[in-house]
Amino acid sequence: MASADFVITEANALAPFCTDWRGRYTGQPLCVVLPSDTEAVAAVVSACAAAGVPVVPQGGNTGLCGGATPIGGEVLISLRRLNRIRSVDADNNAITVEAGCTLQAVQDAAASVDRLFPLSLAAEGTATLGGNLSTNAGGVQVVRYGNARELTLGLEVVLADGRIWDGLRALRKDNTGYDLKHLFIGAEGTLGLITAATLKLFPQPREKATAWVAVVSPLAAVRLLGSLRAVVGDNVTAFELVDRTSLELVLQHMPRTRAPLQGQHNWHVLVELSGACNHLHDILEQALQAGIEAGHIIDAVLAQSEAQRHALWALRENISEAQKIEGISIKHDIALPVSRIDEFIQRAGAALKAVSHDVRIVCFGHVGDGNLHYNLSKVDAQSNEDFIAQTPVINRIVYHLVCELGGSISAEHGLGQLKRNEVLKYKSLTEMDLMRTVKAALDPQGLMNPGKLL
Amino acid sequence: MASADFVITEANALAPFCTDWRGRYTGQPLCVVLPSDTEAVAAVVSACAAAGVPVVPQGGNTGLCGGATPIGGEVLISLRRLNRIRSVDADNNAITVEAGCTLQAVQDAAASVDRLFPLSLAAEGTATLGGNLSTNAGGVQVVRYGNARELTLGLEVVLADGRIWDGLRALRKDNTGYDLKHLFIGAEGTLGLITAATLKLFPQPREKATAWVAVVSPLAAVRLLGSLRAVVGDNVTAFELVDRTSLELVLQHMPRTRAPLQGQHNWHVLVELSGACNHLHDILEQALQAGIEAGHIIDAVLAQSEAQRHALWALRENISEAQKIEGISIKHDIALPVSRIDEFIQRAGAALKAVSHDVRIVCFGHVGDGNLHYNLSKVDAQSNEDFIAQTPVINRIVYHLVCELGGSISAEHGLGQLKRNEVLKYKSLTEMDLMRTVKAALDPQGLMNPGKLL
């Protein structure tokens, strides 16, 4: 069992665990425990189950929906000390890591045997694998490698009654019954606590080609993606849409940024090809030239050096930061069928302008996955307060259209505390009932991370 | 509801539904119903649930483990008439099909919009998508594209109580709660009946390069796979191991086959690169030359035409057929970490020869997935009968070693009736209990395909 050093009850020491990264949720747990191995996690969960006390798991505390923040009265189990890389198998392209490893530590362990672990997101230096798996994290390379779920071969999980399920298989094929790992991935700790995982590794890309492209419309971006894939297949490893407002905010607020192209354009794409395929730079150049001739592309620039590549990526990666400087906005993390992105942008824009004629739309995201970050505010801080007060009305417009077009109201951030009520409006009764049936079967006492997801 | 024409009760008409493709299992259902839409399936299941009558779903009846064969007393629901392609969306790389579509029909619908649906297996002209999903089918392109599970975006399912769950989403990202589709994929119809699916499509490969390679050992094959991937990444779309006995049986029994290389070699690999990448033929030739210089490869030949490519594939595809001509054998469909394949082959061979000095081992399979077909018999038909009688002893040797090396006793065929008891020896009590908990929650009456999997 964990020693007294690893049970925190003192208020100042508890504080960092009690509030989420964005500062929107706070709750007071009974205590924080920091077990250092799976058996200790199991002992804590078992004791809580016996006492009827709820538990909340926490990794790097970088979640965006309050999924790892206590609602009050739980034992908070921090997985940070479960941070061993248990094994790396280059021949099998697999790595087994504990839940408290940071994403960066897993990437580094893979690189040390000349392999790639492709999950990549802004918080990777702090976010832990257990949290990445519990929220089925996405990021910038999903278009090629999939979400956290698709990168997982096996799991070790502490169940609600404290038993340990060892499902750490490093197999590409295993058809011996229900694939239980998928129950726990993306479940936000509500069905069990992930303590370790076996993950897929990939060859390191040998070459990268990166371009900033002005396109005539979101539809042209989708067409460009299709034509690139026809030429280089899955060597398209990033394909990010950036609207004019997003770019302008970055250029205005972030030092050492400059416009990558002459003139002003309404829609841009940051495209990156990478892989083992040769001549990616030439292939990308030819494809962009063809896009210009076909009328989809207005202008484009290819990175000619690693420094230029970083400069282009900085324009994409600083959008949220630049936007924050201007004040708060109503944010949406939505997914759509890739073929409906253009229609969504047109119809949502028109509907919002009908309600609020000077709404400012910041629209960017992972077009290859159909995932848009669609954030709304006013230019004038004075009138923005009134606008933010209209959040329920604005959300209804956006989410109703997302739903009509067959989309999702949470693409990659999860439900947590933020959207657990919102989702009730957009899922069928049958689906909600199925989810509750699964929850009741695996956590009959309802002690696993209560107040989240369901 | 289905009309009287589509309820079969007459013995001769029932017969084709009552026995599995290999002829090892037979059961007498109460009747066969052939509903033509999801609502009709739901009405049948609902009526059965109300009456407490079990149901068994059946697609193309090509399964290898008796998973779709009645055990007796069920209503057999044939999904064959649910065979519409509901929609194809090339821009979103997605297709929605009903469960009774043959795999071939889905491949053809994808090709009609210049896309690839990559699931491919011998029975594809008859096997249906519903069965492919219920058994999480594999096949020859898993090394690149994954199993049926990885190719699925959404499902429509009739639940055990007759409700319809519409989970037909065509999204790459959707983190709004438990990912319920994974409960039903690979569940062999024991949790609900899959009636339709939304599947991923891919760009059509523009180029293919195929070679037959003699390697010094299974370990050399694994190393060759690693070095090829380092050069061409995921353009390795097939990587099949073939042992000397397998090739000799094909050359001996199958007309119009000839040895692809001079001399005799113990281990071969059929490797295929395909994709949008250019110069695959040259890349493969250079990689094979490097393998010869490194001492992994003894000799190799590249297909110079489509006819030569088919001739090489015929050597791989006819192994089962050639083996059948020689009589029955004890078959194993196993998976291992790719890095343990060499060790398995050495240790299993030694252990089997200690029990039966003249055992004949036919070993081939999908090395890139760690999936071996490992089939055992005697050369002499006289002594083979005694050998087959020792199946429990032989299985114990093979499966114990598979288990010790972290493998699976059913890689791609499922459990069905064939391995539902065998699996109890190799899964933990916790895992079996979790599976039973899920089953009891989703099918509390135990009416969905009883006698299979669990």
Inter-chain residue contact A165 with B428, CB threshold 8 Å:
yes
Q: How confident is the model at residue A382 (pLDDT cuts 50, 70, 90)?
A: confident
Say yes or no: B178 contacts chain A, CB-CB below 8 A: yes
Inter-chain residue contact A175 with B409, CB threshold 8 Å:
no
Q: Tell me the average pLDDT across A216-228.
A: 94
pLDDT digits 0-9 by tens, B140-175: 899 999 999 999 999 999 999 999 999 999 999 999
Instruction: Provide the 3-class DSSP secondary structure of residue B212.
Output: strand
Q: What percent of chain A has pLDDT over 90?
A: 88
Q: Which of residues 181-200 of B touch A (CB under 8 A)?
A: 182-183, 185-187, 191
R_g (Cα) of chain A, nearest Å = 23
Residues from chain A that touch B366, judged by Cβ atoms under 8 A, are 173
Say yes or no: B93 contacts chain A, CB-CB below 8 A: yes
The CA distance from B206 to B183, in Å, is 35
Minimal Cα distance from B152: which residue of A? A150
* A240 and A343 part of one domain: no
> So what's the pLDDT on residue B104?
98
* A247 and A273 part of one domain: yes
Q: Is residue B18, in this structure, part of any structural domain at all?
A: no
pLDDT digits 0-9 by tens, B404-433: 999 999 999 999 999 999 999 999 999 999
Residues from chain B that touch A278, judged by Cβ atoms under 8 A, are 277-279, 283
Residues from chain B that touch A183, judged by Cβ atoms under 8 A, are 178, 182-183, 438
pLDDT digits 0-9 by tens, B195-241: 999 999 999 998 999 999 999 999 999 999 998 988 888 889 999 99
Average pLDDT value for chain B? 94
pLDDT digits 0-9 by tens, A40-71: 999 999 999 999 999 999 999 999 899 999 99
CATH classification of the domain holding A392: 3.30.70.2740
Q: How confident is the model at residue B5 (pLDDT cuts 50, 70, 90)?
A: low
Say yes or no: B253 contacts chain A, CB-CB below 8 A: no
What sign results for the dihedral spanned by CA atoms A133, A135, A140, A142? Answer: positive
Q: Is residue A153, in this structure, part of any structural domain at all?
A: yes
* A140 and A188 part of one domain: yes
**At which of A203, A221, A253 does a domain end?**
A203
> So what's the pLDDT on residue B4?
47
The CA distance from A403 to A425, in Å, is 10
Q: How confident is the model at residue B379 (pLDDT cuts 50, 70, 90)?
A: confident
- Minimum distance, in Å, between the CA of residue B193 and any CA atom of chain A: 15
Quick one: DSSP state of residue B411? S
Q: What is the pTM of this model?
A: 0.96
Range of the domain at B401: 327-416
Q: Tell me the average pLDDT across B270-288.
A: 89
Q: Tell me the average pLDDT across B297-305.
A: 97
The CA distance from B203 to A234, in Å, is 9
Inter-chain residue contact A232 with B276, CB threshold 8 Å:
yes
Average pLDDT value for chain A? 94
Note whether B393 and A122 are within 8 A (CB): no
Q: Is residue B349, in this structure, part of any structural domain at all?
A: yes
Q: Tell me the average pLDDT across A373-390.
A: 90
**At which of B181, B203, B225 does a domain end?**
B203
pLDDT digits 0-9 by tens, A152-178: 999 999 999 999 999 999 999 999 999
Q: Pick from B114, B178, B277, B372 the residue to mutate for testing the A interface (most A CBs within 10 Å).
A: B178
pLDDT digits 0-9 by tens, B13-50: 999 999 998 888 999 999 999 999 999 999 999 999 99
With 80 as the cut, is the pLDDT of residue B277 above it? no
CA A130 to chain centre: 13
Instruction: Provide the 3-class DSSP secondary structure of residue A186.
Output: coil
Residue A46 tokens read as 């078992």
The CA distance from B65 to B112, in Å, is 33
- In terms of phi and psi (left: phi > 0; alpha: psi -120 to 50; beta: otherwise), the region of B61 is left
Q: How confident is the model at residue B320 (pLDDT cuts 50, 70, 90)?
A: confident
Say yes or no: A441 contacts chain B, CB-CB below 8 A: yes
Q: Of B94, B177, B179, which has the smallest distance from its Cβ to A453's Cβ? A: B177
CA A410 to chain centre: 10
Q: Which of residues 148-177 of B touch A (CB under 8 A)?
A: 149-150, 159, 163-167, 169-177
pLDDT digits 0-9 by tens, B86-145: 999 999 999 999 999 999 999 999 999 999 999 998 899 999 999 999 999 998 899 999
> So what's the pLDDT on residue A140?
85
Q: Is residue A301, in this structure, part of any structural domain at all?
A: yes
Lowest mean pLDDT segment, chosen from A323-327, B270-274, B387-391: A323-327
Say yes or no: A54 contacts chain B, CB-CB below 8 A: no
The CA distance from A5 to A17, in Å, is 16
* B249 and B188 part of one domain: no
**At which of B203, B238, B253 does a domain end?**
B203
Residue B16 tokens read as 């084709």
CATH classification of the domain holding B141: 3.30.465.10
* B274 and B301 part of one domain: yes
Q: Is residue A447, in this structure, part of any structural domain at all?
A: no
* A249 and A229 part of one domain: yes
- Give this complex's ipTM: 0.95
> So what's the pLDDT on residue A5?
59
Q: Is residue B32, in this structure, part of any structural domain at all?
A: no
* A264 and A353 part of one domain: no
The CA distance from A144 to A237, in Å, is 5
- Minimum distance, in Å, between the CA of residue B92 and any CA atom of chain A: 5
* B185 and B235 part of one domain: no
- Measure CA of the first residue to CA of the last residue in chain A; give whole Å: 31
Q: What is each CA distance from B423 to A174, A372, B25, B301, in whole angstroms?
A: 12, 44, 19, 41
> So what's the pLDDT on residue A2?
43
* B282 and B342 part of one domain: no
Instruction: Provide the 3-class DSSP secondary structure of residue A166.
Output: strand
Query: What are the φ and ψ backbone dihedral angles of B166, each rounded to 5 degrees?
Result: -95, 100
Inter-chain residue contact A142 with B173, CB threshold 8 Å:
yes
Say yes or no: B444 contacts chain A, CB-CB below 8 A: no
CB atoms within 10 A of CB B289: 12
With 50 as the cut, is the pLDDT of residue B70 above it? yes
pLDDT digits 0-9 by tens, B355-366: 999 999 999 999
Inter-chain residue contact A92 with B370, CB threshold 8 Å:
yes
Note whether A93 and B337 are within 8 A (CB): no
Residue that the structure tokens 């969504």 belong to: A344
Q: Is residue A45, in this structure, part of any structural domain at all?
A: no
Q: Is residue A80, in this structure, part of any structural domain at all?
A: no
Q: What is each CA distance from B244 to A150, A173, B165, B261, B357, in whole angstroms?
A: 36, 25, 49, 12, 18
> So what's the pLDDT on residue B327?
84
Inter-chain residue contact B232 with A276, CB threshold 8 Å:
yes
* A280 and A386 part of one domain: no
* A219 and A304 part of one domain: yes
Q: Which of residues 338-397 of B touch A (CB under 8 A)?
A: 338-340, 366, 368-371
Inter-chain residue contact A337 with B171, CB threshold 8 Å:
yes
Structurally, chain B folds into a number of domains equal to: 3
pLDDT digits 0-9 by tens, A238-294: 999 999 999 999 999 999 999 999 999 999 999 999 987 668 999 899 999 999 999
With 50 as the cut, is the pLDDT of residue A1 above it? no
CATH classification of the domain holding A281: 3.30.70.2190
Inter-chain residue contact B438 with A441, CB threshold 8 Å:
yes
* A269 and A340 part of one domain: no
